[in-house]
Each structure stands twice: as C-alpha cells, then as structure tokens.
Structure 1
C-alpha cells in the first residue's frame, strides 16, 4: 500500500464536480452577469435609452465571458487587487 490508500483506509469522500466549478450564467460569472444586466436594464428602462442599454449589455457580457475564459475567478482576483495597496507606490 502506498500513497493515499495507506493514509486512512475506509475514509473516502466523493468530491462532486459541481463543488469545484464556478457558477456561470451564459459563460460569465453569476455576480457579473446580474450586475451587468441590472445596469443595462436601468439605462434602457430608466433613462429610456434602449439602444445604449442593449449595447452596454452586449459589450459588458462579452467582456465578462472573455475574462471568465481566461480565469473563471477573475472577479475575485480583481477585487483583491483593488483592495490591496501597491507595494512600490509611495
């Protein structure tokens, strides 16, 4: 016996794929998709700029999908980046 089998026999827990994959809506992270849709709806309905709302939604969703293809957790990384101050800035 070697490796994991010798460590703790009988203690195995199945790890489902849904616990490790990010939650995406249409290819973009769920929070980004909801915020983007809400912003586009506010511009389209509230300001009655329908075309601008649709364009804003399409561009925002395309950017979110592109970012999620590069790194599915890009929003968490971005928020941490914004929170921390730069090391070399005075």
Structure 2
C-alpha cells in the first residue's frame, strides 16, 4: 500500500487568522456578507423587545429575509465585480 507524499504541507502551517485573511483577499465580498448577516441578526435581536403588535413569527421571518437578502446581494456583487475584472491593487 503506497501513500502519496507529494501533498504540500503549506496549507497545514497556516493558522485560522491568516487563512481567513487570505480568503478575504481572494473574495472580498464574503466577509462583507458575513458582517452584514451578523449585523442584521444583532439588530433583529435588539428590536425583538420593541416589536409592538407584530407577532414573533412575522418578526423572525422579516429578519431572516433581510439577512438572506444581504448575503445574496453581497454574493451577487462579488460575482459581478469578478466578471468586470476586479483585481486588488488595480
């Protein structure tokens, strides 16, 4: 039984922080989508107390749609910017 020893170990030497930074440079709209999603969820939890007459299920549906919409929008912008040749530093 033979094993493949040609695998590069450089990816194993990388810690989580530097891996995230490298991935963020490759696709800058991913962290923007993640941050927007977290911000909308935080805002929804904050407004949960003061939702007035709105049922909780309706409030949660609105927050879910808003968070998903932000992520889809960030992904769409990422795809469009990639198609138009967005490159860091140019």
For normalisation by structure 1, the TM-score amounts to: 0.44
Bigger radius of gyration among the two: 1
The structure that is strand-richer by fraction is: 1
